[in-house]
Amino acid sequence: METLNHPATEDQSVALDKDGFDSAKWLSYFIANKRTRPIFSLPPDLELDEQIKLPLIRSLQRFQIGETGDGKHLRKFASRANDADYSRCVDLFIREEQSHGQLLGEVVLSLGGTLLTWHWTDVAFIFLRRILGLKTEILILQIAEIIGKCFYKCVADKVENETLREVFSVIVLDEIAHMHFHSEFLAKQLGTLSWMTRVVVHYAWCVIFNTACFVFILDHKASLDALGISSSEFVARCSKEFHRSARIAFK
């Protein structure tokens, strides 16, 4: 097993665990990441070009909702895996997502926006995640992680505000680790299924991923345009991450 110092790099293969999913290793990572990740103190007014500010607020309002869930169902499903370290990992993972939600909320407010209390895309994701058990929950969650990571990376690369670049760079690093965490766990879970079931699950996952990308583009095209990223480029970036994750999960 390779040592996991920090799996959050663009090259996920750096952190690949050749022995399969190791919940103790991931628990060490989540504990260390909680201790070392920076704490941001945002100014009350974040300067940003008006052309990008309004569509960005609109997009971040939606992400903020998605990052803020209490994770009750995921915790419940995770507890059935009978792995105490994995349950603790999931707990720390949910807290990281909640910290993203809190940060995004502060960003939206500092940009002059308001926070949403719900959004239909979040309700749809929650519905899909809870249809079946833990595998479904993680498979759907992984799609949200991939799209979120790619969008946050665009923001980190493109906004002309140093504070926002730092905030989104840190979130991107967390999301890369999350994607890898879920991929390795899925590999263990999906490995118990028959060959035919895995083919069907993989196909269904691809369909849901492509649908999610299509819906995302429809809903967030204004902010992608403002960030200077074409829809096709964004989908290509998401697809690259998706196939990388699928290679690990369905190995």
Looking at this protein, which amino acid is placed at residue 94?
A: I
| Strand, helix or coil for residue 51 | helix
Nearest CB to Fe ion, comparing residues 145 and 184: 145
| Strand, helix or coil for residue 5 | coil
Residue listed under structure tokens 């999960």: 249
CA distance 126 to 40: 29
Nearest CB to Fe ion, comparing residues 8 and 226: 8
Smallest separation (angstroms) from Fe ion to the CB of 152: 8
Smallest separation (angstroms) from Fe ion to the CB of 51: 26
Smallest separation (angstroms) from Fe ion to the CB of 62: 13
Nearest CB to Fe ion, comparing residues 48 and 65: 65
Cβ-in-10-Å burial (0-12, 13-18, 19+) of 144 comes to buried
> Can you say whether residue 83 is alpha, beta or left, with left for phi > 0 and alpha for psi between -120 and 50 degrees?
beta
Smallest separation (angstroms) from Fe ion to the CB of 35: 18
Binding site for Fe ion (CB under 5 A): 67, 97, 100, 145, 175, 178
Nearest CB to Fe ion, comparing residues 18 and 143: 143
